[in-house]
Amino acid sequence: MSTGVYIRISSHTQTSDSQRTEIQRWLDAHGYQPDSVHWFEDIESGVSMNRKRLDALHQAIFTGEIKTVVVWKLDRLARSMREGINTLSRWCEAGARVVSITQQLDLSGPVGRLVAGVLFGIAEIEREHIRERQTAGIAAAKQRGVYIGRKKGATKVPTGPEQAQALRARGLKNREIAAILKVTERTVGNYLNANRH
């Protein structure tokens, strides 16, 4: 039987390197052989469950090819509590063991599924909070007359650092820039620092 590693990033501007590195370190520490590990990676929002590689992992679990699933964190599977619990329940019923390495969880029994339910609930609340902060930041930028929004008919999409620099030039704070670009304040700081070099 094989092990399936599931990785998800939300967009092409992100990289899965950190997830891969930590998961590989965990696999090596637990004696997993490289030829027994299959990697599944999606570039898709956690809100959508229609993901090509996740579907392939589902199929491999239900055919019995994959017996252990390793993820970096549970929110890589789903951001919705209902979808996350449903997915884990189906996998566990098919006899799969699910391991979340950063949360140090082994979800192979009813207690594990209960803990997973709580964590998925927290992830869903965090997603709502992020959405509320984005809305508030955009509203504040509009009120100050510095919200640029999306340009119609634009063919070249500015990079994150370019957008952050343009918004900073209009007087926005890091918090407001983060809300508009839908990234963290730390990422905004990295964007602005990148433009100084």
Q: Which residues form the catalytic set?
A: 10
- For 117, residues 6+ apart whose C-beta sits below 8 A from its C-beta are 81, 84, 85
What is the identity of the amino acid at 197? H
Give the Cα separation of 150 and 136 in Å (integer).
17
Strand, helix or coil at 52? helix
Strand, helix or coil at 121? helix
Residues facing residue 38 across a β-bridge: 4
CA nearest to 48, candidates 11, 12, 13, 93: 11
Give Dmax (Cα) for the chain: 59
Which sign, positive or negative, has the C-alpha torsion 107, 109, 110, 111? negative
Residues facing residue 70 across a β-bridge: 5, 99
